[in-house]
Amino acid sequence: MVPRPLPFWNYSLGAQGSVKWSARLLIAVTVLAYATSFNGALVFDDIPGIANNPTIRDLTRWDLFLVAIGPQGGTLSGRPVPNLTLALNYAISGSALWSYHAVNLLIHLLAGLTLFGLVRRTLLRPVLLARWGDRAVVLALVIAGWWSLHPLQTESVTYLVQRVESLMGLCYLLTLYFFVRSIDAAHPGRWQGAAFVACLTGMGCKEVMVTAPLVVMLYDRTFVAATWREVWQRRRWFYGALMSTWLLLLGLMKASGGRGGTAGFETGMSAWSYALTQCQVILAYLKLAVWPHPLIFDHNLRLATGLNEVWPQAFVLLGLLAATVYLLVRRPMLGFLGAWFFVILAPTSSVVPVADAMVEHRMYLPLAAVIALGALGLFSMSAATVRVGALGVALALGITTAVRNFDYRSPQGLWEDVIRKNPASARAHNNLGAYLFTAGRNEEARTHFATALRLDPRYASAYYNLGQLLEKTAAADEAVVAYEAAIRFNPKRADAEVNLGYLLDRLGRSAEAAVHYEAALRLDPDAADIHAALGATWLKMKRLAPAIEQLKNAAELDPNRVETWYALAHALQQQGDPAAARRAAERALKLKADYPELLYFLGNLAAAGGDFPTAIGHYERATDLAPGYLAARNNLANALLVSGRTEAAILQYRRILKERPDDRAVQENLARALELQGPTRPR
């Protein structure tokens, strides 16, 4: 008979099957809590990261590993490993989101299982074995279970593009877990090699991974080695290998250009102001770890400007840091938990500014230290308290997570939730307005844009979105003012420059439009559509040489854009180079064979060169595609007449006159054709 597993609170070191049953239970409760996440939609950075990310649509593209190295600074900028996993999702399910959610949940499950294994093996280390060895499995299960079920994790699991956080977290945990496995292994090099691969992979996920080699060394000193000298002497080659992974991270950070100005000192925030704000943020993180309410997708904190604004929080935070240092010296096992929390948060919650001062997904890994401390406190109580407390907390966390996932069902619902909890969030009003505008609810959208600008009168994105709305609703002059404000408050917005250029061009202000296109090109010199727009504007202004230059640049950058070749053909024809114009037009025709205007243009070129058979072929094709294209039909009739095909020409003239009976020119051409035909013979 197979022995029944003991209740989880009675697991002991020798309980057969306890690890497997614990792992199965951990998987089951996590899947149950996140079953509601599969209803999640694409929200916020999911749009550029997934919906509008061309690099995930072809697994053969080499630039999957150089995604977003330009100035856009998206979530995936300089983070190729998560981008590759999104490409795999696209290959599996295209735009259907089930596979994306499945992979996010799988990553979280693996991270939870790795944390379970890491905690269990740590509790079985000689320094902890006497006190915790008989409860290693159950304590590891409680810590990993609470961590996996905690609603703070929803932003890293249900918010699809934040796979960058959970995947980095998995690599971080695996790096440490593989190191722990190497300590007593018969062949430690294999486990150390696995740790190196995990660390290298993590560097391609997110910059926070920079702290992993340091935390592994601290773990070694705390739970394995007696001195720092022993740490270095016994495993210096291993730590040298881990530290060498920083070179990959450095290269990715350099290539991404400070993440397009969203991280580093190019954000416009001072290190001092950011550090002061983090005094509030870190304590808010701790509060949410203990009592996860309210969870807010966008906290949108105002930066502190002076110590007087945050001195109570700064005092508490300094006390916690001092306690961590003290514990590292006197009680290093507890001190390690404090160090884990502060060291992992340090890259985003210290002095290096990041565009968003507070986001909940940054607690993905640091949360483990708070959970572990709480679980250790619980296990110091009576057995009955442990049972009730462990189950009660897990149940509360799981239900809260399942309910929180519903907030991600639509962008509208998510931003409405933010506004309910944080009505002063200008970004929430702006993003809700953008969603409503896309849904055609213009008046509601305009109200939210106005609210965003009242809360933040310098909010460039809200001005840009308002400009789009005004342009669509035929308030062109107001739209110009809104776009100009967007540019004034954020001179790096190439999209605002382009939209303002398009609008001014339509208003007949082509010279002003050209100025804005040129400004956009300075910001984004490789944008084919901007080169094409500027070339078309120069063409309209009869500035043929610069028009041809810009259109050629556009065609080189994007050779599959038929409108560019067509505009280039017009420019070359007007410059007096019909042969080059014909080559450009024929290139366009290869891209789009059913383009009546292009066929009409080619017919005119052929007719001007005296090649009437070719011209007739183009005109006939154009009129077959667009029977109401009377200009092409008129030129077809003229070419037929010149070619001696008088009867066919008469037929075409008469068809035109059915649509335009008062057209004098066609009437005269018809009369001439009838005269040339002469009297018809009676049949």
Angle ∠(553,555,561) on CA atoms, nearest 5: 145
For the stretch 310-363, pLDDT in tens is 999 999 999 999 999 999 999 999 999 999 999 999 999 999 898 899 999 999
Which pLDDT band, with edges at 50, 70 and 90, does 66 fall under? low
- Closest C-alpha among 523, 514, 580, 522 to residue 547: 514
300 — pLDDT class (breaks 50, 70, 90): confident
- The region, left, alpha or beta by phi > 0 then psi within -120 to 50, assigned to residue 44 is left
Q: How far apart are CA 627 and CA 675, in angstroms?
A: 27
pLDDT computed for residue 679 by the predictor = 63
Residue 96's pLDDT band (cuts 50, 70, 90): very high
β-bridge mates for residue 354, sequence order = 263
Q: What is the pLDDT of residues 126-158, one digit of tens each?
A: 999 999 999 999 999 999 999 999 999 999 999
Residues 6+ apart with CB under 8 A from 39: 405, 406, 408, 409
Q: What per-residue confidence (pLDDT) applies to 355? A: 84
Residues 6 or more apart from 580 whose CB is under 8 A from it? 572
What domains can be seen in the chain, in order of their start residue?
593-683 (1.25.40.10)
498's CB contacts (< 8 A; 6+ apart) are 516, 517, 520, 529, 530, 533
Residues with Cβ within 8 Å of 185's Cβ and at least 6 positions away in sequence, in order, are 191
User: In the prediction, which pLDDT does 59 show?
Assistant: 81
Question: What does each C-alpha distance from 37 to 151, 302, 343, 395 come to in angstroms?
Answer: 12, 30, 30, 17
Give the least confident one: 11-25, 61-75, 547-561: 61-75
User: What's the pLDDT at 283?
Assistant: 98
Mean of pLDDT values over 212-241: 97
pLDDT of residue 264: 62
Q: Token digits for 588?
A: 């366009």
Mean confidence (pLDDT) of the chain: 92
248 pLDDT above the threshold of 80: yes
Residue 12, pLDDT score:
41
State both tokens at 426. 């200008």
Q: Give the residue among 523, 487, 524 at the shortest CA–CA distance from 503.
A: 487
pLDDT above 60 (res 273): yes
**What are the tens digits of pLDDT across the range 533-582?**
999 999 999 999 999 999 999 999 999 999 999 999 999 999 999 999 99
Q: Is the pLDDT at 14 greater than 70, yes or no?
A: no
pLDDT computed for residue 681 by the predictor: 44
Crossing angle of helices 18-34 and 136-149, in 10° steps, is: 10
For 477-525, how does the pLDDT look when each residue is reduced to its tens digit (9 = 90+)? 999 999 999 999 999 999 999 999 999 999 999 999 999 999 999 999 9
* 73 band by pLDDT with thresholds 50, 70 and 90: low
User: Residue 80 pLDDT > 80, yes or no?
Assistant: yes
* pLDDT-derived band at 54, boundaries 50, 70, 90: confident
Express each pLDDT in 604-625 by its tens digit: 999 999 999 999 999 999 999 9
